[in-house]
Structure 1
Amino acid sequence: MGVKLRKLRAERGMSQIALAHALGLSPSYLNQIEQNQRPLTVSVLLKLNRTLGVDIQEFSEDDEARLIAGLKEVFADAAQPVALPELQEVAAQMPALGQAVLALHRRHLEAMERIEMMSLRLGDGRSDAAAPTAMPFEVVRDFFFAHQNHFDVLDRAAEALATQAQAQGDALAHWLAQRLELRHGVRMERTEDAAHGKRSFAPERRTLQLAAELNGAQQAFQLGTQWALLEHADTIDALIRVPQLAHDTAARKLARMGLANYFAGALLLPYGPFLAAAESLRYDIELLEQRFGVGFETVCHRLSTLQRPGAPGVPFFFVRVDRAGNISKRQSATHFHFSRTGGTCPLWNVYEAFGQPGRILAQLANMPDGRRYLWVARSIARSQGGYGSPRRTFSIGLGCDVRHAGRLVYAQGLDLQTPEAATPIGMGCKVCERDRCPQRAFPYVGRALEVDENQSRFTPYGFPH
């Protein structure tokens, strides 16, 4: 925290004496905080907020934990193992250096992918193979993560529109359809043609076709998405005008759609009423489904966005996985890291949910770094047609740090005080240092593999201690 405070002071062009005077502290006490010899207390944080307008979230430990997790992946297969205390020191005292190392590692991986693609092209004569870089959806995911999955300007605009709709007393979907026609000359049509998907907008004809099988909430979501793309195009374009999206057309288009969908979700579940209901119901997802007339996934996704300055909800992380372990959605209002190397952990309850369809499972999980989390998971299934049509099955996971668990109904009956009561999970076998895990699928790349033909272990792989 001392490094962050020094950086903040330098950005404001203030001396130690000036900042100490502004905060009502002695210069020596402030110097000790900046040198990490004294903790940055809650009272000092509140003074920073009141005096300088500093967002307290800037001093969250989440960024440091995220950086440590990233550095562990970078150095997992280093010739000389890098101990965790060294990584913690870099993250705490030299965060800019740590971020630079991560950026270099990403560029190295991209360069290796290009070399591999060039080898393939030279080997089989294909001349149209493109050199891969970060996938557009990964770029967009990082963009949302950088904003803590909250976009206040869109959230407030959606809440204001929801208030107008509620004042009219009409069904939201019907009211939105009328507004689109009056303000933008867009006429809504229902279609049985599955080729058009859920929503299909023809700008030249000013028609918006929605699939006939969509229910009221689903119609409102699609209409809200179209409203955002038309009414708030300038706002969305301003939000995506960032360096990380500047040179990737596909990523910019994905980000536009993601922000339009964000607006639609905030319209269906307006911030103030939804947060008040979530707090009063102790974040009971099923009761929130019933109150707002939306599905399990929609409620979970919205819960992961409630980080309005001055009125935050529980900072959740949201994931959607399939049976093969692919994470198709990953949104977070705070830190939770899973490796891109070697999949995720089979002991995580989002996978157990597939074996108990429709049932909500709660799990107290413990990561190797000692952080504990409360996870809630449930499987969902969808079908686009009738009998015999293929079904899409996912598991939805919603998690938060254990310090927030007492605010959730799902903490009932769980031992939150005893670390040993939590299930030990990891970021993925290849980067998980737990050596006694019976579920391990791959050896940990951070240590040499120990093979003894005279011994058969209970766990799949052994490591020298």
Structure 2
Amino acid sequence: MKKVFMGVKLRRLRAERGLSQIALAQALGLSPSYLNQLEQNQRPLTVSVLLKISRALGVDVQHFSEDEEARLVAAMQEALADAPEPVTLPELKETATQMPALARALVQLHRRHADTLARLEAMALKLGDDRADLPAPTLMPFEAVRDFFFSHQNYFDALDRAAEGWAAQARAGAGLLPWLTERLRSAHGVGVRHSAGSHDGKRSFDTATRTLTLSGELDEGQQAFQLATQLALLEMGQAIDALINVPPFDTDAPSRHLARIGLANYVAGALVLPYGEFLQAAEQWRYDIELLAQRFGVGYETVCHRLSTLQRPGAPGVPFFFVRVDRAGNISKRQSATHFHFSRVGGTCPLWNVYEAFSQPGRIVPQMARMPDGRTYLWVARTVSQRRPGYGAPGKTFSVGLGCDLRHAPRLVYSKGLDLRDTEAATPIGMGCKVCERTDCRQRAFPFIGRALAVDENQSRFVPYAFADPAKV
């Protein structure tokens, strides 16, 4: 155990229990002078003293855990990313160690700010409809699941490590696909068949015959993903249910079902792209998405999705935001390992490079983008297309975006040629016109809701700003 100084935390525990230094010293079997030195950070906290404190004060040893401090430091770094004066890592560590309550309060205030932004967007949705009796918007099942993943920083340690263990077993055998097929057969009595031609879904499971049918259109990587998803549902059902036995999933069946599928898909991604091996390759190749896709035999979108989940305590990757949109601006997927101003109401900024990518299909488009609050990000976007074989069969095209805070950009190959110090060169973007306060944007389609209402003095009511008499505003 390295030297750990936790004087402030120790003084706080003593004060909460109404003990004097002499009384606590007697309870711990220490001299008052030695305890005083511990509380003044003149002596480090040893393992033997820590165990005595745990027994005497009835506190969990985890109360002094470095893991908890690391999480607090990471959370404070996120909360203070746009602070007017940079806060150094030693200062953050000192705060997390000596004043954890202050650190948690700071993080909580930051989260309240994020919640306020979310309510602002919900208000924008309501005000954007001309019906006065429009009820307050409620979360759809996919939104509830998305918020659940966000609350866990898009990382689930127990599931991720279990999937990594499966991957190690598969590597020791004949390979991933044969291992998955045999595991389903031997452990669960499930047979696997492949449908001929197109299939309505990628995977279907007949519980009566214990048969798993995969679409004939899937490549090997996609087959492995679907087999792993089914294995997760069968073998990790209890672990998954333990995670989702929380509101709103305890009373909302559609959201609960969607959350189970989402966590099973998470396991599948962690199996196909095992954490340690994948993170090592990502760091080695500076997060080059196409190289990673080639190395692991999966698609561009799959790599982007996995990169947004690399937040294992003690071994984190770059905290990414992942988004998938169509040409109409509909966001069909979004995941974040940290905070980003994703819009809940659609109509996201047309200046964002995820839309520019549609004009350059198949090409990676980098962008430095600055939000109205001053935060600057590095985004890379590229189109991905899916189509069924056969003449005249309709296809699907999306733009996939992957972004991170600018402070992480030097770790990415996509920062080549960019002047990361010149934040003024970043493209000004926003969450969407209704909630973006930029007044000089020529792409604005709607007024900012903070300016969208004005008082008509003659009628004593609120009217849309665009129709108000400027002389009376």
Q: So what's the TM-score if we normalise by structure 1?
A: 0.75
Q: Which residue of 1 aligns with 2:177?
A: 173
Partners in 2 of 1:374 and 1:439 — Cα distance? 21
Q: Which runs of 5+ in 1 are unaligned?
A: 1-7, 27-47, 69-89, 121-130, 451-459
Partners in 2 of 1:303 and 1:97 — Cα distance? 27
Q: Which residue of 1 aligns with 2:338?
A: 334
Residue 139 in structure 1 maps to residue 153 in structure 2: no
Letter aligned with residue 152 of structure 1: D
The alpha-carbon distance between structure 1 residues 62 and 329, as it changes in their structure 2 partners (threshold 3 A), is farther
| 1:14 CA displacement | 5.8
Kindly name which structure, 1 or 2, has the bigger radius of gyration based on alpha carbons: 2
| 1:298 CA displacement | 0.2
Letter aligned with residue 70 of structure 2: I
Contact kept in structure 2, 1:443 and 1:449, CA below 8 Å = no
Residue 150 in structure 1 maps to residue 155 in structure 2: yes
Letter aligned with residue 155 of structure 1: D
Residue 396 in structure 1 maps to residue 400 in structure 2: yes
Q: Which residue of 2 aligns with 1:418?
A: 422
Partners in 2 of 1:279 and 1:139 — Cα distance? 32
Partners in 1 of 2:248 and 2:36 — Cα distance? 37
The alpha-carbon distance between structure 1 residues 133 and 153, as it changes in their structure 2 partners (threshold 3 A), is same
Partners in 1 of 2:284 and 2:187 — Cα distance? 37
Partners in 2 of 1:106 and 1:349 — Cα distance? 22
2:71 corresponds, among 38, 47, 57, to: 57
Q: Which runs of 5+ in 2 are unaligned?
A: 1-7, 25-34, 43-61, 84-104, 455-465
| 1:258 CA displacement | 0.2
Q: Which residue of 2 aligns with 1:237?
A: 241
| 1:199 CA displacement | 0.5
| 1:335 CA displacement | 0.7
Partners in 2 of 1:150 and 1:96 — Cα distance? 18
Contact kept in structure 2, 1:9 and 1:15, CA below 8 Å = no
2:260 corresponds, among 249, 256, 263, to: 256
Partners in 1 of 2:200 and 2:229 — Cα distance? 16
The alpha-carbon distance between structure 1 residues 107 and 432, as it changes in their structure 2 partners (threshold 3 A), is closer
Alignment of 1:172-191 (within 5 A): 172-191=176-195
Q: Which residue of 2 aligns with 1:215?
A: 219
Identity %: 59
Contact kept in structure 1, 2:154 and 2:336, CA below 8 Å = yes
Partners in 2 of 1:362 and 1:146 — Cα distance? 28
Q: Which residue of 1 aligns with 2:169?
A: 164
Alignment of 1:1-400 (within 5 A): 13=13, 15=15, 25=41, 53-59=67-73, 60-61=75-76, 64=79, 133-168=138-173, 170-192=174-196, 194-341=198-345, 343-400=347-404
> Residue 379 of structure 2 aligns to a residue in which SS?
strand
The alpha-carbon distance between structure 1 residues 303 and 104, as it changes in their structure 2 partners (threshold 3 A), is closer
> Residue 245 of structure 1 aligns to a residue in which SS?
coil
Partners in 2 of 1:105 and 1:21 — Cα distance? 50
Contact kept in structure 2, 1:341 and 1:431, CA below 8 Å = no
Q: Which residue of 1 aligns with 2:4?
A: none
> Residue 149 of structure 2 aligns to a residue in which SS?
helix
> Residue 444 of structure 1 aligns to a residue in which SS?
coil
Contact kept in structure 2, 1:173 and 1:220, CA below 8 Å = yes
Q: Deviations over 1:378-416 (max 9, x none)?
A: 001100232211111100000000000000000000010
Q: Deviations over 1:271-297 (max 9, x none)?
A: 000000000000000100110000000
Q: Deviations over 1:216-257 (max 9, x none)?
A: 111100000000000110000001111232211000000000
Instruction: Give RMSD over aligned pairs.
Output: 3.9
Aligned length: 391
> Residue 374 of structure 1 aligns to a residue in which SS?
strand
| 1:133 CA displacement | 3.2
Partners in 1 of 2:373 and 2:116 — Cα distance? 21
Partners in 2 of 1:96 and 1:374 — Cα distance? 23
Letter aligned with residue 135 of structure 1: M
> Residue 408 of structure 2 aligns to a residue in which SS?
helix
Letter aligned with residue 408 of structure 1: L
Q: Which residue of 2 aligns with 1:447?
A: 451
Contact kept in structure 1, 2:199 and 2:215, CA below 8 Å = no
Partners in 1 of 2:451 and 2:132 — Cα distance? 30
> Residue 382 of structure 2 aligns to a residue in which SS?
strand
Partners in 2 of 1:63 and 1:300 — Cα distance? 21
The alpha-carbon distance between structure 1 residues 21 and 342, as it changes in their structure 2 partners (threshold 3 A), is farther
Partners in 2 of 1:182 and 1:279 — Cα distance? 37
Partners in 2 of 1:361 and 1:96 — Cα distance? 31
Partners in 1 of 2:123 and 2:437 — Cα distance? 24
Letter aligned with residue 149 of structure 1: N
| 1:151 CA displacement | 0.5
Partners in 2 of 1:109 and 1:421 — Cα distance? 29
Partners in 2 of 1:23 and 1:258 — Cα distance? 47
Contact kept in structure 2, 1:148 and 1:332, CA below 8 Å = yes
The alpha-carbon distance between structure 1 residues 112 and 215, as it changes in their structure 2 partners (threshold 3 A), is same
Letter aligned with residue 315 of structure 1: P
